[in-house]
Structures are given as structure tokens and as C-alpha cells.
Structure 1
Amino acid sequence: MNMTLKACLSALSFSLCSISLAHADTNTVTQNIKKNFPDIQVQSVNNTPIPNIYEVYMDGEIVYTNDDARYFFLGNLVDLKNKTNLTAERQQELSKIDVKTLPLQQAIKQVKGNGKRVIYLFSDPDCPYCHELEKELQQVDNVTIYLFLFPLTSLHPNAQNIATQVWCSKKPYQAWENYVLHGKQPNASTTCTTPIQKNLNLGKQLQIDSTPTFFLQNGHRISGARSVSEINQLLDDAAK
């Protein structure tokens, strides 16, 4: 190797080192976000497979930025070679919860079959997608369902009243099924003490802003209705 080529390689190596050293770390990016956008509450900042691009988790969503955290972009980071949506995987991981901390006394419990698989469901009695999910759940066996009544009155003004009547019924889960599956109005009193407001507060803490939202045994969060085959697969995977 001649001296000129050695000098070029040496210079290139030094340049790459300098560039690497110039890159920020996640702590610096976090500080830059706080400096540029003091009102934003950042939950975490992590590296990505792309140099100088960082994953920012805030308000339950993933966005991406560079070192100086001045500009952000939304979208899915995809590993095309392995056909993997990295953003979706990270979103699921970052939004998971510790289900052991859930106050199960605030939920209606229903056991089907051996009940070994578990689903923690936040649902609105007047939500059409909740009705769709309930139809699919009818075909799911060997599961314990913890139903947290979660009426979103901004969308469904009468949902609070229905949820109260469901909770106050002698057989709450049956009253729930009768209403969401068959449109049969519950006729229980609305004067009993309910955990509904506590559920709404809990949902705020868990950043639940749509229904249905449910959690699996491994803490993974699932939003929206799913088919019976999808539900069974999710439950089986979580049970492992």
C-alpha cells in the first residue's frame, strides 16, 4: 500500500471518528427536546437502527427526530429485508402495562371454559366497535374476561347511564351481553355505587382514548375490534 493511500485511509478514519463523536446521545436529544419544546412531556428517547435518528415516545405515540430535535417526522420504520414493522413492534412494547397493577375489583369478571387465558377489556356499551368485538368474544373459549366499563360520554351521551345499570344488575355480564349483542335495555337501578369514574381515571393514566382497548396477560395493548382467530392467536401468544 503506498503512502498516499495510507494517508487517505487515515484521514477517512479520523473523519468517521469525528463524525461519530459529534453525534448526540439519547440524553442530549432529550435535553434538546426540553429546550426546544418545553411543553412536550417525553416518556422516553431511544436509538434506532439508523445513525443519528432517534425514537421519541410521547403522549403514547412514537415519532422520530435527529440530534438537535428541531424537526420531527411520523410514520413507520420498516425493516424491508425482514418484512418487519419496527415502529409497530416498539409501539406495542412501549405501551404495554403491568397487568398485576390493575384494580380487578373495578371490573366485571366472566370465566369461560377453563379460564386460563386472560383479557382485560375497557369497553363502552354504546361503541359500535365494542359490539363487534363482543360478537367475536362469544366464540372464544377458555378465557377469563375482566370487563372495565368505560363509557365515553363525549361520543355516546347515554353510555354512562347504561354502564351504571349494567354494573348494578344482579348478573352484570349477562346484562352487558344482552345490551351490546341484542339491544336489550338493562332495567336495574342506577343508585348503586359503581367504579365507573375510577375506571375513567384509570383509563386516563393508561392513556386509553378509544374503545375497545384490551390488554393481554403479557401486558400488550390491543386497540379496536379483532376477529375470533386473531383474538385466539393473541391470547395464546400472551399465555406463553
Structure 2
Amino acid sequence: MLNTTREVELHMTHSCKEAQFKLSLASIVAIVAMIFATSTSAETSSDAQGVSSDKDAMKEIAKVLGSPTKEVSDSPMNNLKTVELDNGRIVYTTTDGEYAFVGDLYGWNDEKFVNLTVRQKNQALLAMFQSLPAASSINYSPVETTEPDVVYVFTDVDCGYCRLLHEHMPEYHANNIEIRYLAYPRAGIGSKAFNKLVSAWCADDRHDVLARVKNGTAVNAEEYTVADDCSKSVEEHYELGQKIEITGTPTNVLPNGKVIPGFTQADQLKTLIDS
């Protein structure tokens, strides 16, 4: 009964997010139109006034969509603009602002159609992860290579498939894959899982403590010192996972920015990386 209730709650939460996002499109039409109208009028007014108006419009989009608007640019298709949101979502709007849609835009390239929307979204997501300091994640690197394929993995301590992934670490290394763990306590900031992850991120031997908390072993208080930088990393990782709307752990982010949920065998993950 509890599992069923939880599934319903998760479904309702996801449905509400989608409904809110779709409803917001009606408002973005007018706002994006204002941006482009401002850009046009800026040609006959001062540059300072045009920049100020653009900033105000961008702030309004952020309010409507519930995610800051990162960039508005020309799309590969004539008379169509690309609105990139801060969480990686892509919205398309006509240049006059009368129509907007969410969907995949394909382009013909090298005798095949390429999903341009997914490619742009993946590039935006990858930039988010590459901006993370290497020291903020707990990294497991292959010993016999200097250029491994880096895969970011959102992990939790009370997660069976996260433990399974960790047990297969030698196989990932054999496939030239470096695993960089990002903390994602599914129960949220301040939960028991959050505190366990903080103990690992703040430990002198982070690899040892993380392996032990994943296996349910208690950690002595003297083995770690909670500091602002390490506890903040756990919070930032959780917030990043929320931002890109991951649905569980483990969740893998490949070198091309593609997000793969769930446990994936090392050889299958390597195939996805190379494809």
C-alpha cells in the first residue's frame, strides 16, 4: 500500500510540473514577443534603454516558467527563435512571439536527420557539470589511462542499485570510464541520508567512508569534520539534480551530456558513450 501511495504521489508531482510548464507557454508567447519588439525598437533608441528593457523581459520569463531563461537565440529554422531555460529545457517561439511550442527540432546533416533539440540540450547540461570543481565530487578513476571517459553519477547511500554500481567499479575502469559521484539524498537536505553523505564528503578518506555508508556501516564522528565547503557540495549536487529534474538514483550523465537513469552495466555504458 505504501509503495502504491508513493507511486501516486510521484506521478502527481510529475504531472503537476508538466501542467505548470505547459500552462506557462501561453504567457511566454507575449513575453518573448516583447523581447524581440524591444530588440527592434532598440535600433531607433539608445542602446542602454534597449539592454535595460531586455533584462526586464528576461526576468519576467523567469517568473512565468519557474526557471530562469538562460538565452534567446536564432534557431536553425527561419523565423523561429530558441529559448534556452536554465534547467536545460528548450522552448521554440516564432519571431513575432505569436506561437510557441516544446518539442524536438530535426535537421538534415550528412545524409541523415539529427535531433538538434536534444543535441543543444545535452550541450547545455554538459556545460553545467563540467563547471563543477573536480574536488566537489568523489572520483574513481582508472589507473592505467590519462584520458578516461568521465561519467557523472548522482548517488544516494540507501539505494540498492547505487551499491550495485559501486560494486562494479573495476568493470567501469576496465572500459576506461571514470565515475564522478555527485551526492543526491532522495529524502532531501537535512535528512538522514543527507547527513550520511555529508560524513563521506567531509571525511579525510572519502572513498573509504562512502563505501562504508553505502553498505550501512556506521561512521565515527572523529572520522570526518563537517565544514562549509564539503557540506555545501552535497547541497549543490542535490539542487543541481532537482534543477535538471532527475527522478531517482543512480542517474548517469555521459560525456556528451546525455542523461541515462538507473544502473547500467559497464559494457553497455561504454557503448552509449561511443554511440
Q: TM-score range by the shorter chain?
A: 0.5 to 0.7
Q: Which residue number corresponds to residue 189 of structure 1?
A: 220
1:28 aligns with 2:42: no
**In angstroms, what is the RMSD of aligned CA positions?**
4.0
For 1:62 and 1:88, the matched residues in 2 are separated by 9
In the TM superposition, what is the alpha-carbon distance from 1:185 to its structure 2 partner?
A: 0.7
8 Å contact from structure 2 (residues 72, 83) kept in 1: yes
8 Å contact from structure 1 (residues 162, 186) kept in 2: no
The structure carrying a bigger helix percent of its residues is: 2
> Structure 2: which amino acid aligns with 1:229?
D
SS at match of 1:198: helix
In the TM superposition, what is the alpha-carbon distance from 1:61 to its structure 2 partner?
A: 0.5
After superposition, residues 2-81 of structure 1 pair within 5 angstroms as: 28=36, 31=54, 34=57, 37=61, 39-40=63-64, 41-58=68-85, 59-79=87-107
For 1:38 and 1:209, the matched residues in 2 are separated by 17
For 2:152 and 2:62, the matched residues in 1 are separated by 35
Q: Which residue number corresponds to residue 10 of structure 2?
A: none
In the TM superposition, what is the alpha-carbon distance from 1:187 to its structure 2 partner?
A: 1.2
8 Å contact from structure 2 (residues 198, 234) kept in 1: no
8 Å contact from structure 1 (residues 165, 186) kept in 2: no
1:140 aligns with 2:172: yes
SS at match of 2:233: helix
TM-score w.r.t. length of structure 2:
0.57
Unaligned segments of structure 1, at least 5 residues: 1-23
> Structure 2: which amino acid aligns with 1:201?
E
Query: Highest CA radius of gyration, 1 or 2?
Result: 1
After superposition, residues 1-240 of structure 1 pair within 5 angstroms as: 28=36, 31=54, 34=57, 37=61, 39-40=63-64, 41-58=68-85, 59-79=87-107, 82-97=112-127, 101-116=131-146, 117=148, 118-127=150-159, 130-131=162-163, 133-134=165-166, 137-141=169-173, 142-154=176-188, 157-167=191-201, 171-177=205-211, 180=214, 184-190=215-221, 192-193=225-226, 195-201=230-236, 204=239, 207-210=243-246, 211-215=249-253, 220=257, 222-225=259-262, 226-233=264-271
When structure 1 is superposed on structure 2, of 83-92 and 43-52 the one drifting more is 43-52
SS at match of 1:140: helix
Could you give the per-residue CA deviations for residues 103-158 of structure 1, whole angstroms, max 9, x where no partner exists? 23333232333243133433222346645654654521244433233323339943
Kindly tell me the number of residue pairs found equivalent between the two proteins.
209
TM-score w.r.t. length of structure 1:
0.64
For 1:72 and 1:32, the matched residues in 2 are separated by 20
Higher relative contact order (CA 8 A, sep 6+): 1
For 1:205 and 1:86, the matched residues in 2 are separated by 24
Distance 1:62 1:135, change over 3 A: farther
